[in-house]
């Protein structure tokens, strides 16, 4: 073994992580090479110094209790969430969002959604109407003009990305064979909107989500009167732009969700309810 | 018609899940707390981060695959929250003057045979806060492995699972991380005048 190979293995030798096969060769080299031995001893000394000085601390009891109490008010899964978001997040800059990485691949534009088969347009007036915005965004997605800011099929990663920015509890429903592919956060006249994109083959379900309070305050975003009435009466509102294009609005916890897809109403309903 | 009607079976199901979560996840709070503390360098932020991690883990408990490493799962949720909330611009490794420290060790190698002894002489005067500050100054990926290995005592295999990279990468990050750390500690010791004092002794 030469010095270079041994240097690479020094941490393993210090941490007791050397493979049995190489151990004799490493120790042989260390006895013969004072430079590598010094390197080994320095690194070992650094480790033991840090270990001695920075102890692993126990979690403060009040934090532990606080978390347990909070959990007892929570529910598991994506249903019936009523508790508020714990703290107000700091909305980070766009630049920072671009710098995100880690376990989640953020691939802007690269993973633009490929346009689907030739199709009709859903185009609607560009105004405050949530339903119009949903159709227009859906077009944007199908045309590849809107791409996810976070590309991930991990609902926790997408949820964290969106909730950190949106400051409301974002629902990520499961849509059976439609796979979550990512999300977008945006603002419209100061109101936060979370968008989810699901795909199955070349078909797409798009979900627009906004805080119920924001919507009903009516400061910027609006729901048409008939949709609001229907929602309050039954919890659901349906629209068929074309026979094979459906839009559904419903209440989910503290948000209003608006989903659209080029499939029949019954199919879309089954997907958003996740019970088929 | 909606999912809002909670039936009795749902409720007992929830109780079982709650119990399961308490038994499996709560016990790993210490490692998450310590990691949060060293990553945010701030007790309040660390509390928030641990809290957020547990709430999220609980909400998505049905996404956890039974039998897989739960610590790694929780850790990844925390890392994700940390990235979304706290990570500023991705930090380039600070330029550290390795020559400075290397020259120093070369001069004194003949005088002191035990690096442990020597290191204690030079670094011994540093406060725990200095040491914490030195660890916290490391770029994130190096800091993570140093915390998990040297402070929390995890195996390479588990660290690799936590940070989702090969064992060889864990090893090389540790090597570089400790080297940067040593240089950092050395520069603090030099500022405090411990280095020249150690030489005189």
Least reliable range by pLDDT among A91-95, A139-143, A209-213, A224-228: A91-95
Average pLDDT, chain A: 83
Higher pLDDT, A210 or A89: A210
User: Which of B37, B71, B151, B178 is the best residue to mutate to test the A interface, defined by the most A CB atoms within 10 Å of its own CB?
Assistant: B178
Q: Does B150 touch chain A (CB under 8 A)?
A: yes
Do B193 and B116 sit in the same domain of this protein? yes
ipTM exceeding 0.85, yes/no: no
Higher pLDDT, B191 or A259: A259
B52, B85, B118 - which closes a domain: B85
User: Which of A7, A8, A56 is the best residue to mutate to test the B interface, defined by the most B CB atoms within 10 Å of its own CB?
Assistant: A56
Q: What is the pLDDT of residue B113?
A: 56
Do B196 and B102 sit in the same domain of this protein? yes
CATH of the domain at B79: 1.10.1740.10
Cβ <8 Å between A38 and B22: no
CA–CA distance, A148 with A168 (Å, rounded to integer): 19
Q: Which of A143, A148, A68, A145 lies closest to A104 in space, CA to CA?
A: A148
Q: Which of B182, B176, B179 lies closest to B141 in space, CA to CA?
A: B176
Residue A19 clears pLDDT 50, i.e. is over it: yes
Phi and psi at B115, nearest 5°, equal -60, -30
Q: How many CB pairs under 8 A join A and B?
A: 196
Q: Does B4 touch chain A (CB under 8 A)?
A: yes
CA dihedral (A169, B45, A183, A75) positive or negative? negative
pLDDT band at B44 (very low <50, low <70, confident <90, very high): very high
Q: Does A84 touch chain B (CB under 8 A)?
A: no
Do B102 and B168 sit in the same domain of this protein? yes
Q: What is the pLDDT of residue B143?
A: 95
Q: How many separate domains does chain B show?
A: 2
Q: What is the pLDDT of residue B19?
A: 87
Do B71 and B149 sit in the same domain of this protein? no
Chain B CB contacts of A85 under 8 Å are none
In a domain, B136, yes or no: yes
CATH of the domain at B168: 1.10.10.10
Q: What is the pLDDT of residue B100?
A: 67
Q: Does A276 touch chain B (CB under 8 A)?
A: no
CA–CA distance, B51 with B39 (Å, rounded to integer): 15
Residues within 8 A of B (CB atoms), A 170-229 only: none
Task: Tell me the pLDDT tens digit for each residue of B68-123.
Answer: 999 999 999 999 999 888 875 555 555 566 666 666 666 555 555 566 676 777 88
Rounded average pLDDT over A196-220: 91
Q: Does A62 touch chain B (CB under 8 A)?
A: no
Do B80 and B154 sit in the same domain of this protein? no
Q: Which of B185, B136, B90 lies closest to A106 in space, CA to CA?
A: B90
Rounded average pLDDT over B17-26: 89
Residues within 8 A of A (CB atoms), B 106-125 only: 109, 114-116, 118-120, 123
Cβ <8 Å between B21 and A76: yes
Cβ <8 Å between B171 and A12: yes
Residues within 8 A of B (CB atoms), A 97-156 only: 99-104, 155-156
Average pLDDT, chain B: 84
Q: Does B20 touch chain A (CB under 8 A)?
A: no
For B200, the token pair is: 């005189």
Cβ <8 Å between A48 and B116: yes
Q: Does A266 touch chain B (CB under 8 A)?
A: no
Task: Tell me the pLDDT tens digit for each residue of A2-18.
Answer: 999 999 999 999 999 99
Task: Tell me the pLDDT tens digit for each residue of B149-179.
Answer: 999 999 999 999 999 999 999 999 999 999 9
B29, B61, B85 - which closes a domain: B85
- Give the closest of B89, B153, B172 to A99, CB-based: B89
Cβ <8 Å between A72 and B18: yes
In a domain, B67, yes or no: yes
In a domain, B92, yes or no: no
The SS3 of residue A116 is coil
Cβ <8 Å between B30 and A164: no
In a domain, B141, yes or no: yes
Q: Show the domain range for B76.
A: 8-85
B85, B116, B150 - which closes a domain: B85
Do B76 and B125 sit in the same domain of this protein? no
Name residue, tokens 């660390």.
Answer: B46
Residues 6+ apart with CB under 8 A from A253: A80, A81, A82, A169, A171
In a domain, B91, yes or no: no
Q: What separation, in Å, do the N-terminal and C-terminal C-alpha atoms of chain A show?
A: 61
Q: Does B131 touch chain A (CB under 8 A)?
A: yes
Do B149 and B62 sit in the same domain of this protein? no
Q: In chain A, what are the domain boundaries?
A: 1-73, 94-273
Q: Which helix (H) or strand (E) holds A261?
A: strand A255-261
């Amino acid at each position: 073994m030469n010095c270079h190979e041994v240097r690479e293995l020094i941490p393993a030798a210090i941490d007791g992580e050397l493979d049995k096969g190489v151990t004799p060769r490493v120790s042989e080299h260390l006895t013969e090479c004072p430079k590598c031995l010094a390197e080994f001893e320095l690194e070992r000394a650094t480790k033991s110094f840090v270990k001695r000085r920075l102890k692993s601390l126990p979690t403060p009891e009040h934090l532990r209790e606080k978390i347990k109490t909070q959990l007892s008010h929570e529910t598991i899964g994506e249903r019936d969430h009523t508790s508020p978001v714990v703290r107000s997040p700091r909305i980070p800059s766009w630049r920072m969002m671009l710098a995100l990485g880690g376990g989640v691949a953020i691939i802007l534009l690269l993973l633009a959604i490929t346009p689907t088969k030739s199709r009709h347009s859903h185009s609607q007036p560009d105004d405050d109407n949530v339903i119009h915005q949903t159709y227009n965004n859906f077009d944007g997605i199908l045309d590849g003009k809107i791409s996810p800011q976070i590309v991930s099929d991990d609902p926790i990663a997408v949820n964290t990305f969106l909730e950190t920015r949106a400051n409301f509890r974002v629902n990520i429903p499961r849509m059976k064979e439609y796979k979550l592919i990512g999300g977008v956060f945006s603002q419209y006249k100061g109101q936060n909107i979370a968008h989810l994109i699901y795909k199955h083959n070349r078909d797409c379900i798009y979900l627009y989500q906004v805080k119920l309070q924001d919507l009903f305050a009516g400061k910027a975003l609006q729901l048409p009167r008939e949709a609001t009435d229907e929602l309050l009466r039954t919890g659901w509102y349906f629209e068929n732009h074309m026979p094979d294009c459906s839009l559904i609005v419903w209440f989910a916890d503290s948000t209003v969700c608006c989903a659209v897809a080029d499939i029949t109403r019954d199919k879309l309903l089954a997907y958003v309810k996740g019970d088929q | 018609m909606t999912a809002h009607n909670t039936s009795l079976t749902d409720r007992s199901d929830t109780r079982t899940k709650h119990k399961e979560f308490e038994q499996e996840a709560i016990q790993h709070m210490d490692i998450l707390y310590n990691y949060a503390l060293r990553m945010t360098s701030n007790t309040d932020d660390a509390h928030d981060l641990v809290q957020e991690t547990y709430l999220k883990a609980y909400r998505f408990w049905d996404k956890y695959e039974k039998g897989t490493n739960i610590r790694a799962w929780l850790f990844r949720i925390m890392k994700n929250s940390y990235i979304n909330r706290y990570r500023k611009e991705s930090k380039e490794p600070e330029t550290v003057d390795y020559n400075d420290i290397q020259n120093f060790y070369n001069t004194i190698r003949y005088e002191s045979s035990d690096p442990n002894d020597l290191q204690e002489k030079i670094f011994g005067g540093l406060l725990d806060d200095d040491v914490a500050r030195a660890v916290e100054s490391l770029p994130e990926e190096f800091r993570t492995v140093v915390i998990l290995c040297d402070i929390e005592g995890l195996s390479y295999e588990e660290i690799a699972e936590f940070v989702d990279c090969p064992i060889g990468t864990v090893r090389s990050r540790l090597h570089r991380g400790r080297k940067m750390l040593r240089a950092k500690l050395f520069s603090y010791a030099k500022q405090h005048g411990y280095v020249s004092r150690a030489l005189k002794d």
